[in-house]
Amino acid sequence: MPNQDFYALLGVTAEASAGAIKSAYRRLAMRLHPDAGDEPDAARFREVHDAYTVLSDAARRHTYDVEIGRKVRVPTMAEEIASGRPIGILDDFESVAASPGEILHQVAQNFFGFHQKSGAPRRRLSLEIVLSPEEALSGGRLPLEVPCYEPCLRCDGVRWMWGLCPLCHGFGLVKTARQIALDIAPGIKNGSVFELPLDSVGISNLALLVTLLVA
């Protein structure tokens, strides 16, 4: 029987979806990677990587659950969405053409008082989201969290003349997040692609190009 709780290592519950497990691993890997992490820890990084290797593979995850005697009821997609956290596009995006800083700059161009609005063509940010076979079969609504900006509550969006606001640092806006949702039809196929405009959250120069992977 395994002597480590792989779910606890990744900071997720036993009912976590494949997408939530992938997101948790990415966040930890970026923090713990011995060469590029903010808090490098080679030993813990290996533990996290081993846990992800098992839990990201449906067959190996099932075997692991059986070995530790865990009885996991597979939730439907609708239940998963109702109880799980949204997928943050800065945490989960798969794009070699843009860094998180570039994405935030692109977003900021849409909000008055931060950067001048861009008249450039709409940019597409590629995302890969992993669904389990059960989630793909049942379908449902998947929430996505998009970075946005809103007026600073400290200075009411008005730049201080005698110094920089400590909350927004003189920009007049602070970063926040808003949600959009992707409706997934039951029986969705592996590799299905969707383009989601972000006009509903005030972003006109960026769209999400979402690829659904069933694994």
| pTM score | 0.52
* First-to-last C-alpha distance (Å) of the chain: 25
pLDDT by position in tens, the chain (length 215) = 456 789 899 998 887 877 788 888 888 888 888 877 778 888 888 999 899 888 888 778 888 888 877 644 444 444 444 345 567 777 655 444 556 677 777 777 777 544 445 555 678 888 888 777 877 887 888 888 888 877 777 676 565 555 677 777 767 777 788 888 888 888 889 999 999 898 888 888 888 888 888 87
Map out the domains of the chain with their CATH numbers.
6-73 (1.10.287.110), 87-214 (2.60.260.20)
What's the residue count for the chain? 215
Tokens, residue 169: 């640092």
Q: Note whether 87 and 129 are within 8 A (CB).
A: yes
